[in-house]
Amino acid sequence: MTRTPAATAPGDVRPATPLDPDAAISIRGLVKRYGESTAVAGLDLDIRRGEIFALLGPNGAGKTTTVEVLEGYRDRDGGDVRVLGVDPATGGRQWKADLGIVLQSGAGDSQLTCLELLRAQAAYFPDPRDPAEVLELVGLTEKAGSRGRTLSGGQRRRLDVALGIVGRPRLLFLDEPTTGFDPEARRQFWSLIRSLRDLGTTMLLTTHYLDEAEELADRVGVIARGRLVEVAVPAELGGRGQAPAVVQWTEDGVRRTAETATPTAFVRELAGRFPGEVPDLAVARPTLEDVYLRMIGESRE
Amino acid sequence: MVTVVDAPRRTLPSIAAVCRTRAGVELKEFFRQRESVVFTLMFPVILLLVFGAVLDYDLGSGVSFTQYFMAGVIAAGILGASLQNMAIGIATERSDGTLKGLAGTPMPKSAYFVGKVVQVFVVTVALVAILLVIGVAFYGIDLPSGTDWLTFAWVAALGSAASTLLGIAVSSLARNGRSASATVTPVALVLQFISGVFFQFSQVPTWLQTVASIFPLKWMAQGLRSVFLPDALAASEPAGSWELGRVALVLGIWCVVGLALCVRTFTWQDRGNR
């Protein structure tokens, strides 16, 4: 297989480094084309065992294509890939037994009840979790006897997650798992993901919700036009940690805004100008969404 | 540096065990879905009740048309339980992501097809049993005797195998279950009209007989007529005999063609999503 040199590889991976045998996922120079268009254009990435890694990017950036190559659903046109030490193009049943996959499309319609579906799924795996316990874990115990199509959108998605984890995977793929969740269901889902991490499960999460990535991920990678633009811990992405703080307050009836690298000193000085509280005081750093949108915007130019 | 030691390899469940699971899943999926039960099981039963009540004229040699229709409706029922059932069912499972989900698990791929075959087998046996009971109870159908049962078994098995393979292949042509149904149902209906199910095959115009002879349904119906009708009526077949050798040959060829098409066309993912 020919290696396609990556044009740029920011983050902690350089194109010349060999595959990391200890990583849960190791990718070098991944290329995937559909006819004339190149969906993934030389992507390098290592995901450590036990890590939750979030892949962010706009629709069409190559997220799902990359994930589906890793899951063994798609052939690649170039590059080296190892998932749990195995090339997904040749991974067999034993390899698949270590994976859990929650697809974007979810499971199909079924006449089986939630518990029956989980029992059937468990029967494909060598060392499955107890289906009843998995239902408990995703909060669907009351729906054990209900057929899939009678569930609400959020409940169906939790059933998808249950099907993904019943095989006791060492590596779990979650493709936009919380689409259609209400805020409370999302919070519950997050705590489920954290408990899975505590059990040692590595997770690759793709999501459009930046708060979700920030809440869950140990590291995030931003993908745009088939390349990784940056890989960082959420707090550091896009130089967020060093970005100037924005201080806002109201003075003489006018809303005022100032950017400063030393917000503490600035606010102390500001406090001296007012007898009591500084009116409408707010200090903010750029949000993950701010830096994400800036990075996506830059890569489009 | 910390070296990660992999957990010991875990023993996969046996293929036989997964096949049992899949068979259970397929039977529940079929018998719990009202549409498939009505469409596949009840429709031939209703046809038998209606045709038996309306068309009970004598074919000569003291044989009623109902006796003739018995062979045809069983052949049509087998086509429904295999070709139509597989084409619609698998197209649905492919478009709604069920197949993709299964392909991402360590389920052996063969177990999926074993489950489908068990479904077709159980549905077909149930359907034939219901049709025979109704035929005997309401219309005085003469049951086959002696070696006719053997002919019944191999014609049904070979026809069912050919139709199942064709149905799996046809499922790949459809975008989803609904479009599969819209494509396959009219074709099956036309084949029933020209293959000697609703009318005597000898009354079908010759050029339509030729068209029908390409497809398996005509040969299934003809093989089953040899089971249900007295040999004296073989003379009214176009060839003047039951042609059981040719029945086996044509259905066997369709098995081979169907299998080749399945191997070439079957995908676990939607087209346009590969």
pLDDT of residue A299: 61
Write down the ipTM of this complex. 0.88
CB contact under 8 A, A126 and B105: no
User: In the structure encoding, which two tokens stand for residue B43, read together?
Assistant: 């429709």
Relative orientation angle of helices B148-171 and B216-228, to the nearest 10 degrees: 160
Chain A residue with minimum CA distance to B15? A124
Of A108 and B111, the one with more pLDDT: B111
- Residue A286 per-residue DSSP state: P
Q: Of the given ranges (A58-62, A111-115, B83-87, B209-213), which has the lowest mean pLDDT?
A: A58-62
- Residue B273: closest C-alpha in chain A: A74
Question: What is the pLDDT, as a whole number, of residue A180?
Answer: 72
Cβ atoms within 10 Å, residue A207: 22
Query: Are A178 and A208 contacting, i.e. CB atoms less than 8 angstroms apart?
Result: no
Residues of chain B with pLDDT under 70: 1-9, 271-274
Q: What mean pLDDT is predicted for residues A138-156?
A: 87
Q: Give CA separation, B219 vs B176, B183, B201, in Å.
A: 29, 22, 11
> What pLDDT score does B59 carry?
78
Q: Which residue does chain B place closest to A84, by CA atoms?
A: B6
Establish if B107 touches chain A: CB-CB under 8 angstroms. yes
For residue A147, list chain B residues with Cβ-Cβ distance below 8 A: 32
Assess B14–A contact: CB distance below 8 Å, yes or no: no
The DSSP annotation for B155-200 comes to HHHHHHHHHHHHHHHHHTT-SSHHHHHHHHHHHHHHHHHHTTSSS-
Residues sharing a CB contact under 8 Å with residue B161, sequence separation 6 or more, in sequence order: B251, B255
Cα B18 to Cα A121: distance, rounded to the nearest angstrom: 10
Task: Please give the Cα distance from B224 to B246 (Å, whole number).
Answer: 13
pLDDT level of residue A10 (50, 70, 90 thresholds):
very low
Hey, of A26, A111, A176, which one would you mutate to test binding to chain B, going by the most B CBs within 10 A of its CB?
A: A111
| Beta-bridge partner residues of A202 | A171
Q: Flag if B12 and A120 touch (Cβ within 8 Å).
A: no
- Lowest mean pLDDT segment, chosen from A53-67, A154-168, B58-72, B88-102: B58-72
Shortest CA distance from A105: residue in chain B: B97
- B118 half-sphere exposure, CB direction, 13 A CA radius: 20
Residue given tokens 């095989």 in the structure block? A167
Taking 60 as the threshold, does the pLDDT of residue A7 lie above it?
no
* pLDDT of the residue at A292: 81
* Contact residues, chain B, for A105 at CB < 8 Å: 96-97, 100
Residues of A in Cβ contact (< 8 Å) with B12: 93-94, 97, 126
Quickly count helices (H) and strands (E) in chain A.
9, 12
Tell me, what's the pLDDT at B248?
Answer: 96
Alpha-carbon gap: B112 to the closest alpha carbon of chain A (Å): 11
How far is the alpha carbon of B210 from chain A, nearest alpha carbon, in Å?
A: 41
Its sign, for the CA torsion B57, B226, B128, B89, is negative
Q: What is the pLDDT of residues B30-47, one digit of tens each?
A: 999 988 898 899 999 999
Give the global pTM: 0.87
How many Å lie between the alpha carbon of A15 and the closest alpha carbon of chain B?
22
- pLDDT tens for A28-43 read 999 999 988 899 999 9
Select from B215, B203, B207, B208 the least CA-distant residue to B247: B215
User: Residue A8: pLDDT band by 50, 70, 90 thresholds?
Assistant: very low
pLDDT given at position B7: 55
Residue % of chain A over a pLDDT of 90: 45
Return d(Cα B191, Cα A288) in angstroms, integer: 63
Flag whether pLDDT at A6 surpasses 50: no
Please state the φ and ψ torsions of residue A213, each to the nearest 5 degrees.
-60, -45
User: Which of B3, B12, B35 is best to mutate for the A interface (most A CBs within 10 A)?
Assistant: B12
Give residue-wise pLDDT tens across range A241-274.
777 888 889 888 888 888 888 888 888 888 888 8
Residues near B11 by beta carbon (within 8 Å), at least 6 away in sequence: A126
Min Cα distance B71 → chain A (Å) is 33
Q: Does B97 reach chain A within 8 Å, measured CB to CB?
A: yes
Q: Is the pLDDT of residue A104 over 80?
A: yes
Domain positions in chain A: 25-237, 239-300
Q: For chain A, give the percent of residues with pLDDT over 70.
A: 93
A49:B13 CB<8 A: no
Per-residue confidence (pLDDT) for residue A16, from 0 to 100? 60
The distance of B18 to chain A (nearest Cα, Å) reads 6
Inter-chain contact B98–A107, Cβ cutoff 8 Å?
Answer: yes
Q: State percent of chain B over pLDDT 70.
A: 95
CA distance A296 to chain B (A): 25
Burial class (CB in 10 A: 0-12, 13-18, 19+), A264: exposed
Distance CA B226, CA B153 (A): 12
- Is the pLDDT assigned to residue A60 strictly greater than 90? no
Contact in structure between A151 and A107 (CB atoms under 8 Å): no
pLDDT recorded at residue B159: 96
- Top CATH class, A25-237: alpha beta
Report pLDDT for B210: 93
- Taking an 8 Å cut-off on Cβ atoms, the answer to whether B106 and A74 are in contact is no
B101, A107 contact by CB (below 8 A) = yes
Residue A240 scores a pLDDT above 80: no
Closest CA of chain B from A116, distance in Å: 8
Is some CB atom of chain A closer than 8 A to the CB atom of B13? Answer: yes
Q: B176 CB near a chain A CB, below 8 Å?
A: no
Which residues of chain A are within 8 Å of residue B13 when distances are taken between CB atoms? 123-126
Domain ranges of chain B: 15-265
Interface residues of A toward B, Cβ cutoff 8 Å, are 22, 49, 71-74, 85, 93-94, 96-97, 99, 101, 103, 105-112, 116, 120-121, 123-127, 147, 163, 167, 170
Smallest CA-to-CA distance from A66 within A25, A104, A30, A95 is with A30
Please give the pLDDT value at position B101.
94
B26 touches chain A (CB under 8 A): no
Are B106 and A72 in contact (CB < 8 Å)? no
**How far is Cα B48 from Cα A288, in angstroms, rounded to an integer?**
68
Q: Do B97 and A121 touch (CB under 8 A)?
A: no
CA B235 to chain centroid:
28
Q: Do A108 and B96 touch (CB under 8 A)?
A: yes
Distance of residue A119 Cα from the nearest chain B Cα, in angstroms: 9
Instruction: Provide the 10 A C-beta neighbour count for residue A261.
Output: 10
Residue-level pLDDT at B6: 53
Residue B66 tokens, joined: 């109902």
CB A73 to CB B103 under 8 A? yes
* Closest by CA position to B75, among listed B54, B47, B49: B47
Give A232→chain B minimum CA distance, Å: 22
Closest to B70 in 3D by CA, of B11, B151, B149, B134: B134
